[in-house]
Amino acid sequence: MAFSEHLAQTSPFPVGIEIARADGCYIFDTDGKRYLDLVSGIAVTNIGHRHPHVIERIKAQLDLYQHVIPFGEFSQDPQNKLADKLASLLPDQLNCSYFVNSGTEANEAALKLAKRATGRHEIVAMKRSYHGGTHGSLSVSGNEVKKQQFRPFVPGTTFIDFNEENQLNHITEKTAAVIVEPIQGDAGVRIPSKQYLKALREKCNEKDALLIFDEIQTGMGRTGSLFAFEQFDVVPDILTIAKAFGGGMPIGAFISSRENMALLTHDPILGHITTFGGHPVCCAAALANLEVLTEKENWLSEVNEKGQLIARLLQHDRVKEIRQIGLMLAIELNTAEEVDRVIEALLKEGIIGFYFLSTRNAFRLAPPLCISTEEIHWACKRITNVFNQL
C-alpha cells in the first residue's frame, strides 16, 4: 500500500485505496478505477464531493484571507453570515453558535457549557453511544472496547439504556446535562420513539438539566430533515454539529441560547477557546453547504424515498434486519466476518461501504443525498449479488 512509513495509522487493515480525485458521488483511484461512495466519508460529503457552489465560495474566501486570529477576537464576515444563517434555520432558543474544529470538540465544549450553566457536574449518557475520540467525549461514550485502554475518564457520568423510558429516573437534581444522539449512529442506526424523546425532554425540564443533542452524524439532511430533532418535535438546549456541516471542510459547532453562551465570556473569560475554530475558509464552505441544502437543491425532499428504496431493494435471506431513517442505514448480517467479506467484495465491484465501530455484525450505508435512483438500483443489484455469494 502507498502509505508513508512516517504516517501514523489507525488500524492494521486500512482500506488502502490510493485516491486521485473525487467528484459528486464518486471517488477515483490512481489506476483510474471509479468507486460509488455509499458512505459519504462517514456522513461528511452529504452534498457530494466538491459541490461547485462550495468550491466557488472556498476559492473566493482564499482570495481574501485565511486564518487571522483565534476565534472570537476579530469580526469576520464568513463567521457572522454562517451564524446568522444557522439562527434563521433553527428554533428561537438555538440562536447563538460557537464554531469549532470537529465533532468531538463540539461535544467537549457542550459538556463544559452545561456544567457552567447549571453549576452541576454529573452527566447522563447512553449505552452504545459514540460522541468522539477525545477524553471528555470518550467519557460519555458507551463503547467500552474503545475506552478500556484509556482510563481513568472524567468522573460523574451515568449510563442508561437508549429508548428505555423507565430509566429516565437516573436524571436527578444533580444532573448537569443529558447527552444523546437523537438517532444512535455507531450503535447501528437505532431509532427511538417520539414518546421517548418527549419524555426525556420533560424529565430534563423537571430536573432543570440541560438536554444536549449530538447531531454530528444526523445533521445536514441525513435523516430527511435538516436536523433529525425536527422529526421528533423536541428541541434541545444545546445542539452539536460537524461532519457534513462544512460541505467537505473541517468545522463543527455547538449551538445554544445567547444567554447560555454569554456564560463563557466571564468568570473566567475565555471559557472556551479555540485557535482554528471558525476558520474563515471553513465557514465560507459551511455557509455554501447550507445554501445548497436549503435553497439550491431539492434533495431533502427526496431523502426518505431514496432511503426506503435502498431498504426495499436489499431485502435478502442473508440480511437479518435493515434499520433506516432517511439515507442512514444499517444492514445487519449474522457475523462480523460476513460484514468484512461484503465490504471487501463491494470494493471489487466499485462500491464503498463501511462497518460500524460498535456494531460489527452490520455495515453502514450513508450515500450522498444527491445519489440518483439509477445509481441506487445499480448499487443494490451488486450488493445483492455479493449477498448471494456469501
pLDDT score for 245: 98
pLDDT score for 145: 83
pLDDT score for 146: 83
Among the listed residues 294, 330, 387, the one whose alpha carbon sits nearest the alpha carbon of residue 47: 294
Q: Where are the domains of the chain?
A: 19-51+298-388, 53-296
Among the listed residues 4, 42, 1, 34, the one whose alpha carbon sits nearest the alpha carbon of residue 18: 1
Cα(184)–Cα(126) distance, integer angstroms: 9
SS3 162: coil
Q: How many CB atoms lie within 10 A of CB 59?
A: 11
The reply to whether domains 19-51+298-388 and 53-296 share a CATH topology is: no
SS3 87: helix
pLDDT averaged over consecutive 10-residue blocks of the chain (390 residues)?
A: 85 91 97 97 98 98 98 97 98 98 98 98 97 96 89 95 98 98 97 98 98 98 98 98 98 98 97 97 98 97 98 98 98 97 97 93 98 98 97
Helix extents (H) in the chain: 40-43, 52-62, 77-89, 103-118, 135-139, 144-147, 194-207, 258-262, 280-291, 303-313, 336-348, 373-388
Cα(379)–Cα(330) distance, integer angstroms: 16
Q: CA triplet 91, 92, 95: central angle to 5 degrees?
A: 100
**Domain 19-51+298-388, second-level architecture:** Alpha-Beta Complex (3.90)
CATH topology of domain 53-296: Aspartate Aminotransferase; domain 2 (3.40.640)
